[in-house]
Amino acid sequence: MAGYILRRLLQAIPVLLGTTFLIYFMVFAMPGDPVVALFGDKTPPPQVLEAVRERYNLDKPFIVQYLLFLGGIFRGDFGVSFSGEPVSDILARTFPVTLQLAAIATVFLAVGGILVGLISGLRKGGIFDASALVVSLILISLPIFVVAFTAQYIFGVQLGWFRTTVGSGAPIQDLILPAMVLATGSFAQIVRLTRASVIETDGQDFVRTAASKGLSRRRIVPVHILRNSLIPVVTYIAVDFGVLMVGATVTEGIFNVPGVGRTLYQAIIRGEGPTVVSFVTVMVLIYLIVNLLVDLLYAVLDPRIRYVK
């Protein structure tokens, strides 16, 4: 097990190097000069442009810029944004916010989705199942910004149950509405996935065996059916958590959440190479770790799966 984890972590190193290089190159190759754009519709003298470029190392060739950046990372220095703020501070400020948002959303979709999916699967063809199917179909087809604007208008402006946008410091009560919005799309997926999986497991021999040896339904459902149905669902939730972690640009924009998605979007628009690459580096790390955890979780859920060196 330890050997397996170590090997996976070592594999992460080339992945990280490769992704940072690619992303840095893409930001560098983005057409248009970010320094020119800093001046808006006005054209400053070329000497001023040159001086500003020099300050951000933007006058150096690509490979030098990249190596300077990489060298900085090894010293824990992620560079500074155009506003003079160290990128490490920006990371430390935005990731906790998005982590909270993603965690709340995941709780909503995991608890709600699995519960609804389980009941649907056990009562296949019933009223509950049919209406859950219809509702999930509607939720899947709605674009997230429609859900977000509607929720914001109804619950924020009209009913006043929630603050319309997230206030300073991103308190948890403000994050509940955007988290619910974020959860809607995946919620429907989880419901359908759980339902299909439960139906399949319910027809398995070991469930029939359990029933025939006299176990109550109350014990069969959670221990035999649910546990064995969860493997695909857990994979989906984990991957989804990874997706939520790397930021939800649209939702964060609508609810003004000071998280990863909004900040990264701004940095891309402004052409701030160091900020963009630092964010992506951390995102890749998160993704790798989440994937590793998922693989390890399989073994817990299904004792037949074993990791050997």
The footprint of other proteins (CB under 8 A) covers: 30-34, 36-45, 47-48, 51-52, 54-55, 82-85, 89-90, 93-94, 149, 152-153, 156-157, 160, 163-165, 167-170, 252-256, 258, 262-263, 265-266, 269-271
Nearest distance in Å: CB 161, other proteins: 11
C-beta of 189 vs 263, nearer to other proteins: 263
Residues 179 and 108 sit within 8 Å (Cβ to Cβ): yes
Nearest distance in Å: CB 81, other proteins: 9
C-beta of 8 vs 53, nearer to other proteins: 53
Residue 83: how many CB atoms within 10 A of its CB? 9
Residue 217: how many CB atoms within 10 A of its CB? 10
C-beta of 90 vs 198, nearer to other proteins: 90
Three-state SS at 41: coil
Render the burial of 14-43: b for 16+ CB within 10 Å, e for the rest: eebeebbeebbeebbeeeeebbeeeeeeee
C-beta of 5 vs 37, nearer to other proteins: 37
Q: How far apart are CA 91 and CA 187, in angstroms?
A: 28
Nearest distance in Å: CB 72, other proteins: 17
C-beta of 27 vs 193, nearer to other proteins: 27
Which tokens belong to 225?
A: 């059916």
C-beta of 46 vs 214, nearer to other proteins: 46
Nearest distance in Å: CB 83, other proteins: 6
C-beta of 12 vs 58, nearer to other proteins: 58
Nearest distance in Å: CB 286, other proteins: 20
Nearest distance in Å: CB 247, other proteins: 12
Nearest distance in Å: CB 95, other proteins: 13
Angle formed by the axes of helices 227-245 and 273-301, nearest 10°: 170
Three-state SS at 260: helix
Residues 290 and 12 sit within 8 Å (Cβ to Cβ): no
Render the burial of 242-280: b for 16+ CB within 10 Å, e for the rest: bebbbbbbbbbebbbbebbbbbbbebbebbbbbbbbbbb
C-beta of 102 vs 254, nearer to other proteins: 254
C-beta of 40 vs 61, nearer to other proteins: 40
Nearest distance in Å: CB 138, other proteins: 23
Q: Which amino acid does the sequence have at 144? A: I
Angle formed by the axes of helices 87-122 and 227-245, nearest 10°: 150
Q: How far apart are CA 170 and CA 97, in angstroms?
A: 7
Three-state SS at 256: coil
> What's the gap between Cα 64 and its chain centre?
32
Nearest distance in Å: CB 62, other proteins: 17
